[in-house]
Amino acid sequence: MILLDENIILSQRNQLRQWRIHFSVVGINVGYRGMQDEDEIIPILHKFSKSTFFTRDHDFYKKDFLHKKYRIVVLNVDKDEVAEYIRFFLRHPEFKTKAKRMSRVTMVSPSGIHCWQTNAEAEQFIEWVDR
């Protein structure tokens, strides 16, 4: 399941729909509007096995949030580029499948992808491929 934070604007959600990328939105399809980050959204991620949560909230980029059941992707891009970077990310060879996306907390930016992964002692950097 792809889950979008409510901070992803409507135009970007509509673009993802046009590309046939299926998702649910916190505050619309899951939970309620204004849910608190750590206290309420993290437990939702535990309920939906193998979910990938996309947000623009940098508070989610913490090694402490690593878990084998989900992945967190923080989008460090302009609000009008979110859909494009979600699509780039989902097509990247390193993250193409649910299995490859799990157990990581990731920061996506125009310069590349930073991530924490289970059993890794240091933050990794992965370059974009054919963006």
Domain spans, the chain: 2-126
pLDDT (tens, 9 = 90+) of the chain, 131 residues, equals 899 999 999 999 999 999 999 999 988 888 777 777 677 888 888 888 788 999 999 999 999 999 888 999 999 999 999 999 999 999 999 888 877 777 889 999 999 999 998 888 899 999 998 76
Pick the CATH number of 2-126 from 3.30.70, 1.10.3470, 1.10.287, 3.40.50: 3.40.50
Plot region of 10 (φ>0 → left; ψ -120 to 50 → alpha; else → beta): alpha
Distance, CA of 69 to CA of 58 (rounded, Å)? 20
pLDDT at res. 97: 80
The residue whose two tokens read 């309920």 is 47
- Amino acid present at 53: F
pLDDT at res. 131: 65
Distance, CA of 102 to CA of 117 (rounded, Å)? 9
CB 103 within 8 A of CB 45: no
